[in-house]
Amino acid sequence: MSGPPLSHVTRLMFDGTEVREIMKAIRVHEFGGPEVLRQEEVPTPQPGSGQVLVRMHAIGVNPVETYIRAGTYANKPDLPYTPGNDGAGVIEQVGSDVNEFKPGDRVYTAGSISGTYVEFALCRAEQVHRLPANASFAQGAAMGTPYATAYRGLFQRARARPGETVLVHGASGGVGTAAVQLARSHGMRVFGTAGSDEGRRLARDQGAHEVFDHRAPNQFQQIMMATGGRGVDVIVELLANVNLGKDLTILAKGGRVAIIGSRGRVEIDPRDTMQRDVDLRGMVMPNTPPEELASIHAALVAGLENGTLRPVIVKEFPLAEAAEAHRSVMEPGAFGKIVLMPGKVERMN
């Protein structure tokens, strides 16, 4: 075959910029294990009216993308598809009717039309938010799902208020570290749990006043003691199938649980909710009404700007190693956020 390699084919735009006609993307042709994530060359999308094209510098990898890939998630995409919701980069092109962004702007994505495990992601303008200069692209890739989820769980669902005591049950991962930073910067007393010394150190470094081991059988007594027997006002729960039954025994009167993560069933005693006037508040991000989503991202951009939100990046993988990133995100011992970096060169085997 003659001519340049596919990934070097470019098109000259009316404004003099060059756009690559072919880009690398991770594609899934069948549901299954991490090995179904394959890097392919596909046409670079073109932004239409109200759309933008983002050159991705970092892509956030979330547990939910592994459930979708495995075919076990309630809402399955049509095959083939490109995974991903989160990422950060620079605006490459804008479609007509887009006035709030211009080529060269630093942005993060919270959703996309094309999927985000790509070199160039096609997004609706409202799925893109300004990335302040003091935040790295990898940090921006933590905003769309983990930080938005933590914000919604803490403030919009559990209605946590300054002065209250908040337990982040699972404070060492993507959502948990975000919840700790958000709660601490809003004047709450923050408890965090992790399954390892390193995880507890991380939770403390992110702002937890007290840390506990969620593998210790007496963790609930320890947490109750730390409140002087009063109980916690809010629990941000990242593994409800394991903890929810016992969570209900350590809540203060009027306590709320934001149920964010669960990987199975759990037994609860409803009396534990009655005696304390407790509210259980489940959530999934896609249910968030547009105006509440806009308010979440306005708060997150401000938090990045003023330095109270500092996403912790634990591992970076090249785009081609998406399968390895999926294995890694499901391993125990999370210490922050895992990202794909399209500019990073893959390891030679």
Asked whether the beta carbons of 207 and 228 are under 8 A apart, the reply is: no
Residue 77 makes contact with ligand NAP by CB under 6 A: no
Pick the closer one to ligand NAP by CB: 284 or 302.
284
Distance CA 190, CA 254 (A): 18
Q: Specify the DSSP element, H or E, that contains 257.
A: strand 251-259
Distance CA 310, CA 321 (A): 25
The strand pairing partners of 338, in sequence order, are: 61, 315
Go through 192-228 and write b for each residue having 16 or more CB atoms within 10 A of its CB, e for each that does not.
bbbbeeebbebbbebbbbbbbbbeeeebbeebbebbe
Pick the closer one to ligand NAP by CB: 106 or 204.
204
Position of minimal CB gap to ligand NAP: 173
Pick the closer one to ligand NAP by CB: 45 or 261.
261
* Closest to 54 (Cα-Cα) out of 108, 91, 105, 101: 91
Distance CA 110, CA 296 (A): 11
Q: How far is the CB of 285 from ligand NAP (least distance, A)?
A: 4
Pick the closer one to ligand NAP by CB: 284 or 294.
284
Residue 285 makes contact with ligand NAP by CB under 6 A: yes
Considering only residues 291 through 330, tell me which ones interact with ligand NAP, judged by CB under 6 A.
329
Considering only residues 149 through 178, tell me which ones interact with ligand NAP, judged by CB under 6 A.
149, 169-170, 172-176
Distance CA 182, CA 73 (A): 28
Q: How far is the CB of 281 from ligand NAP (least distance, A)?
A: 11
Q: Specify the DSSP element, H or E, that contains 226.
A: helix 219-226
Q: What is the DSSP string of 3-27?
A: SS-GGG-EEE-TTS-EEESEEEEEE
* Closest to 341 (Cα-Cα) out of 119, 58, 24, 88: 58
Q: How far is the CB of 4 from ligand NAP (least distance, A)?
A: 39
Pick the closer one to ligand NAP by CB: 218 or 275.
218
Question: Considering only 80-88, 117-125, 180-188, 332-340, which stretch makes contact with ligand NAP by CB under 6 A?
Answer: 332-340
| Size of site (CB under 6 A) for ligand NAP | 32
Which one of residues 51, 109, 112, 243 is an interface residue with ligand NAP (CB under 6 A)? Answer: 243
Contact partners, residue 72, CB within 8 Å, separation at least 6: none
Distance CA 107, CA 128 (A): 6
The strand pairing partners of 234, in sequence order, are: 166, 256
Pick the closer one to ligand NAP by CB: 19 or 70.
70
Residue 118 makes contact with ligand NAP by CB under 6 A: no
Residue 34 makes contact with ligand NAP by CB under 6 A: no
Q: What is the DSSP string of 94-140?
A: E-TT--S--TT-EEEEE--SS-SSBSEEEEEGGGEEE--TTS-HHHH
Q: How far is the CB of 79 from ligand NAP (least distance, A)?
A: 22
Residue 194 makes contact with ligand NAP by CB under 6 A: yes
Which one of residues 118, 167, 208, 242 is an interface residue with ligand NAP (CB under 6 A)? Answer: 242
Residue 214 makes contact with ligand NAP by CB under 6 A: yes
Q: How far is the CB of 264 from ligand NAP (least distance, A)?
A: 11
Question: Considering only 5-13, 27-35, 58-66, 290-298, which stretch makes contact with ligand NAP by CB under 6 A?
Answer: 58-66
Site for ligand NAP, rule CB under 6 A: 62-64, 145-146, 149, 169-170, 172-176, 193-196, 199, 214, 238-239, 242-243, 260-261, 283-285, 329, 332-334
